[in-house]
Structure 1
Amino acid sequence: MTAWTTAPITPDLLRGALDLARTDRGLLPQRLPARARAQVPDEQTAMAVAQPSGVRLVLRTAATQLELDVVRTTNHYPGAPPRPDGVYDALVDGVLVERATAPGGDVLEIDLVSGARSLRRGPVGTVRFRHLPPGGKHLEVWLPHTEVTTLVALRADAPVEPVALPTGGAGHADAGTAGPRRPTWVHHGSSISHGSGADSPSTTWPALAAALGGVELVNLGFGGSALLDPFTARAVRDTPADLVSLKVGINVVNGDVMRRRAFGPALHGFLDTVREGHPDVPLVVVTALACPVHEDVPGPSAPVLEGGEVRFTATGDPADVATGRLSLRATREVVTEVVTARQGEDPHLHLLDGLELYGPLDAEEHPLPDGLHPDAATHRLVAERFARWAFAAGGPFAVR
């Protein structure tokens, strides 16, 4: 019979979260601090912030078995196929060794047309890892990027302890810590950065790129909510970082929330705020990846059920681009203008054309399954291209 050791879930066990909110059922990792969340104006953004993309438990242990009690929240869209269960990835010394899912949990029903929501509460479920390798190890448990996850209890068949995150300069060890410090990369983007379409939380394109670059990821990719919100800019500003990136364009278009006149100044303001906290760190601004439905057609996007599958279409009028409405092509023009204008006074600011990560030819060879979001193979493609551009020798994120 397994002898279990219960370990308290404390902030020093978690990475990638900016807050750990206490609820009536457990601890809820959040990817924005409380002050920022108080300013979130819509349920979509609040849900995206609470889905723990990039959040992971980081432990030192000799355990071969580990259990995590959670309350997950799954989304159900009437008329659409059921969404796959969220996945928990267990990585030992950086290598994926086991995957698991959680039963039970709450169900959030969302009407795709009206946006109406209703929540049905369910029981606590247990995530079980039974085949961890023996011996002392560095263990990371990545939480699902697609499910709001409340942490209830943690058990293992051997003691667990947190792994200190050194605080010295990049590549240097502090006294009392094991090994050199890895640079921290803070990234903000849309649902693609959040991980929509990826197989699992450790295989979203930012997670894969972080692994290739040897950096610690703080993923502030929020599905549907990369809208240059000031509260997000302040969160990026206030989060310790050695590297910062911002991918912007698609949500401004598919939410139809801005015109060209507002978009440029909003981007300037976002970058001004980030630079208040990170005046000299390498800062990369990435324009939108290819998305054929919105290249020349403004938003908003609208979901359509086709053969039991959800696809997205653009509902705007291309003629309106001439009067300031935004298509993806127009956002790339504005972002390029803003970054180019700033680079004379900001030598650490860099521009990456998103079409270098996923361009028109890629859209033909690896089409977006629902018209907006990539598949798992495309996440890997984008990660490899970003890492090759950013982290290679001479790149803006190259370890110095």
Structure 2
Amino acid sequence: MEEKKSSTLEQFDRNMRMNGTREEGLVWFDPKATPFRLGGFPWIGQDGVYRRMPLHPAEPLPQAVDWLADHTAGGHIRFRTDSRELHIRVKLKDRANMYHMAPTGQCGFDCYIGGPGEEKFAGTATLRPEEPEYTARLTSFKERELRSYTLYFPLYQGVQEVLIGLEEDAELLEPLPFAAERPVVLYGTSITQGGCASRPGMAYPNILGRGMKREMVNLGFSGSGKGEPEVARVIASIPDPACLVLDYEANCDGLERLQVTMPTFIRILREAHPEVPIVVITRIRPPKADWDAEFREAMLARRTYQLELVETLQREGDRFISAIDGYELLGEQYAESTVDGTHPTDLGFSLIAAALLPQLSPLLGTI
């Protein structure tokens, strides 16, 4: 019997093939240099690395937070160019290794075209999950035209090096300015970090950033948003934030941890930023709440505590604190909006962002 030849999907579907790159006629740029603008890395000016927390904080960070800070969730590169082709070369700290998250979301770069508030998805870097380095073409056009670009960093992996490849005769300019330069800072869990979006641009902080026309600083730490005071002090050191968002209930083992950490966390932020809006978001509704009564009651107790804490602080005179009921953010589609009962799909992140945008935007109207 004749042996059957093995086949691959790429053989039969050209849309599944890797986007190769070329070397000739390209110039490679380091996005840490002008005219590129980097966002999402508050300490890159002092440390020079793609990292979400300082390399040498004033006091030691929890081990998990220190490790996860190398994951580049929320980082982005902005610029303008008339290059007909845009390529990217990436060296990761490790390879894709998550069973429930697409390698493009964990380790890939996303490309959006358009100025602030007008960005449209244009492509994702193709990569092989088993390889920690890749080079890919993000866009290719027939006509030369000046375009605005935003490139989003991987959500669940560290980036040691990234280079942008443009045609050697292309014009390269600084990006159009945001509507406002003060960043929104979000502290939270794996959901804040972006698990499990299929690609970086679909994490809800990145969707919000496009809607708000602002830089977003994503300080979501997977499984490790526990409200430690030393983390609060590092976050409080970020200069001149437009808003501080706390969304870390899901990493608290019980009501007691919230009761211990949240008042202190808020106090530390408020002392550093007396008139900056602070927003507390309670946990999104997981399907498990439908059939596990004990789980549901414990979750609702944490929800009630947070909402009442904010009301208490308001009565005590804090005019700049508010709460958002996360239990309702996914609406009627909550049961179909996660990949594993906890972490949102792209649908879930889109629903979260759509619900948060009209509630957060008014807080930033005069800032």
TM-score above 0.5: yes
Greater strand content: 1
1:68 matched residue in structure 2: 88
Matched residue SS, 1:225: coil
> Does 2:40 align with 1:16?
yes
Amino acid at match of 1:55: G
Aligned counterpart, 1:160? 172
Alignment of 1:126-137 (within 5 A): 126-131=135-140, 134-137=144-147
Name the counterpart of 1:277: 272
* Structure 2 equivalent of residue 49 of structure 1: 69
Match of 2:26 in 1: 4
Match of 1:35 among 21, 37, 56: 56
Q: Is the 8 A contact 2:31 2:77 kept in 1?
A: no
Aligned twin of 1:251: 251
How far apart are residue 271 of structure 1 and its match? 0.7
Residues 297-352 of structure 1, C-alpha deviation per residue, up to 9 Å, x if partnerless?
79xxxxxxxxxxxxxxxxxxx49x9xxxx932222122123212111211010011
Residues 59 and 230 in structure 2, CA contact (< 8 A), matched pair in contact too: no
Per the alignment, residue 205 of structure 1 pairs with 204
Residues in 2 aligned to 1:17 and 1:101: alpha-carbon distance in whole angstroms: 24
The one-letter amino acid paired with 1:90 is: C
Distance 1:297 1:398, change over 3 A: farther
1:117-266 matches, cutoff 5 A: 124-131=133-140, 134-157=144-167, 158-163=170-175, 181-239=180-238, 240-252=240-252, 256=253, 260-266=255-261
Q: Is there any run of 5+ residues in structure 2 with no aligned partner, and where?
A: 1-22
1-structure distance, mates of 2:137, 2:83 = 12
Aligned counterparts of 1:71 and 1:99: Cα–Cα separation in 2: 16
CA-based RMSD of the aligned residues comes to 3.2
Q: How does 1:333-372 map to 2 (within 5 A)?
A: 333-344=304-315, 345-358=317-330, 361-364=332-335, 366-372=336-342
Query: SS at the partner of 1:58?
Result: strand
Alpha carbons 1:286, 1:352 under 8 Å: kept? yes
Instruction: Using the TM superposition, give the Cα deviation of residue 233 of structure 1 relative to its aligned residue in structure 2, in angstroms.
Output: 1.3
Distance in structure 2 (CA, Å) of the matches to 1:336 and 1:155: 49
| 2:41 alignment partner, SS class | coil
Residue correspondence of structure 1 range 303-342 to structure 2 within 5 A:
318=294, 327-342=298-313
Check the 8 A contact 1:295/1:328 in 2, yes or no: no
Q: Would the aligned equivalents of 1:53 and 1:145 in 2 still touch at CA under 8 Å?
A: yes
TM-score by length of 1: 0.73
Matched to 1:220, the amino acid is L
* Secondary structure in 2 matching 1:76: coil
Q: Tell me the equivalent position of 2:355.
A: 385
Matched, 1:84 2:77: no
Note the C-alpha offset of 1:61: 2.1
Alpha-carbon separation, structure 1, partners of 2:337 and 2:355: 17
**In 2, distance between residues paired with 1:352 and 1:5?**
47
Could you tell me whether the CA contact under 8 Å between 2:100 and 2:196 is conserved in 1? no
Aligned length: 331
Counterpart of 1:312 in structure 2 is none
Which protein is richer in helix relative to its size? Answer: 2
SS in 2 for 1:362: helix
Q: Write the distance in 2 (CA, Å) between the matches of 1:81 and 1:270.
A: 32
- In structure 2, how many angstroms separate the alpha carbons of the residues matched to 1:295 and 1:328? 12
**1:74 aligns to what SS in structure 2?**
coil
Q: Distance in 1 between matches of 2:33 and 2:279?
A: 29
Change (3 A) 1:22 1:186: closer
1:397 aligned partner, one-letter code: L
Give 1:118's aligned residue.
none
| Structure 1 residues 94-126: Cα deviation after superposition (integer angstroms, max 9, x where no partner) | 22222213447xx6xxxxxxxxxxxxxx66322
Task: Give distance in 2, aligned partners of 1:123 and 1:369.
Answer: 25
Separation in structure 2 between the aligned mates of residue 384 and residue 123 of structure 1, nearest angstrom:
34
Cα pair 1:99 1:129 within 8 Å, conserved: yes
Q: Give the aligned residue type for 2:121.
A: L
Change (3 A) 1:98 1:343: same
Deviations 1:204-251 (A, max 9, x none): 112112222222211112221211122331232122311221112111
What is the distance in 2 between the residues matched to 1:126 and 1:134? 22
| Residue 121 of structure 2: aligned partner | 96
Match of 1:101, SS state, is coil
TM-score w.r.t. the length of structure 2 is 0.78
Letter in 1 for 2:349: H
